[in-house]
Structure 1
């Protein structure tokens, strides 16, 4: 046997050995037919770039969601407020297909605001796959923020507290400054007052209450409302004219007052009781037409108009008696 092996060339012996090894490897089914481990239906990853920074640097926090087509899940949102950083921008990329997977990603740009360790918390997401609930989560990421100052600095000292400011202005100076300020305010006040007076428009002589009332009554008579049978509209205008006269003549807010409030003010009216009764009758009769739906005749409307004319004529004497003066002052 020894002689037989010695007769075979060494090169041929080496080739036979190599062929034997190749045949053995090719015939082993254990490795070629081993089943592949199925990948997870969904994965969620977070990444921080860079992981070390200094104050003012921009850092990117990115989330990547890889899921199967049949799995529906949205990317979770990191907290809007994370101590030590300020969110500047959010960039969402369109989903893309990689093989039988859908990949979604979103990135967040932050500004670093302080030194030390800043923790980006872990994020969780939940989805359904084949009727089973699956929860995936990222790991918490840590950002290390270095100080730009050397670790040992001996030439920078703590800031000293502010020293109390002394009050060194002499009293005579303060008195003079106060008088100067007061004089300046007086000058400004006088100029403003003079300017307001100069800006006042020229006002012509105001018509008397009687003149205004009689002119308004004449215009109302010429309006044609009575001829058209619009007695309700006529009574509203007649009431406005009468209330305007009462307000100007006797100085109380008759235009904005209700009929009941006007009756109450009659107690202080500087007029005879007979005239006060005329006011009560006018208010009662016109309110019936205006608010109670009373269908008045023309004679009634003419009578109320004449009542107003008579009242204006009897209460508009020139001059003011002592009793009227007291009423106006009140």
Structure 2
């Protein structure tokens, strides 16, 4: 039986070990590059500090300045949409009252707001005028009463004086609290 010889050498079955080694080396290099990139980003973030990526916003205006600037924008509404004008006017005064006295005035109706203002200790004259304004504004907003132009200007003037008087009073109390 020695006269029988293979014509060709046997064919290898399976993966070539050379290609397997190359694939493992490439995978190890990619993993090493990913780890290096993550370490670089971590060190870079740590070096720059925690607050450097934050957007720097300006400080919000005090309630007095915010209310007065919003009141200045109501002139067009007085002529074109009187009912919407009163919605905005009461929103401005309620937002100011909420910030000045730290109550949830925007969520309150007129009765709840007047009782809250009574508990806060507002001046009697200012309290009565505020209650009268809120009741008149409710009649215009919800009952369909049509306001006259002098009435609207008077209400705007009242809200301005209310905001300035209460705002100045609150600033004085905050200054006194800081001094103590």
Deviations 1:232-253 (A, max 9, x none): 1111111111111111111111
Q: Measure how far apart 1:321 and its partner are.
A: 6.1
Q: How far apart, in 1, do the equivalents of 2:53 and 2:130 lie?
A: 41
The count of corresponding residues between Structure 1 and Structure 2 is 128
Deviations 1:102-161 (A, max 9, x none): xxxxxxxxxxxxxxxxxxxxxxxxxxxxxxxxxxxxxxxxxxxxxxxxxxxxxxxxxxxx
TM-score by length of 1: 0.36
The answer to which structure has the higher helix fraction is 2
Residue of structure 2 in register with 1:211 after alignment: 65
State which of 164, 173, 179 in structure 2 corresponds to 1:320: 173
**Equivalent residue runs for 1:254-293 within 5 Å:** 254-293=105-144
Q: Measure how far apart 1:268 and its partner are.
A: 2.2
State which of 308, 326, 329 in structure 1 corresponds to 2:159: 308
Q: How far apart, in 2, do the equivalents of 1:199 and 1:256 lie?
A: 36
Which blocks of at least 5 consecutive residues in structure 1 are unaligned? 1-193, 326-330
Name the Cα RMSD after superposition.
Answer: 2.5
Q: How far apart, in 2, do the equivalents of 1:273 and 1:291 lie?
A: 27
Residue of structure 2 in register with 1:236 after alignment: 87
Change (3 A) 1:320 1:203: farther
Q: How far apart, in 2, do the equivalents of 1:321 and 1:208 lie?
A: 12
Residue of structure 2 in register with 1:294 after alignment: 145
Change (3 A) 1:253 1:296: same
| Secondary structure, counterpart of 2:60 in structure 1 | coil
Q: How far apart, in 2, do the equivalents of 1:267 and 1:200 lie?
A: 42
Q: How far apart, in 2, do the equivalents of 1:265 and 1:200 lie?
A: 39
Q: How far apart, in 1, do the equivalents of 2:119 and 2:65 lie?
A: 24
TM-score by length of 2: 0.63
The answer to which structure has the higher strand fraction is 1
**Equivalent residue runs for 1:133-152 within 5 Å:** none
Q: Measure how far apart 1:205 and its partner are.
A: 2.0
- Structure with higher RCO (Cα < 8 A, 6+ apart): 2
Which blocks of at least 5 consecutive residues in structure 2 are unaligned? 1-48
Larger Rg: 1
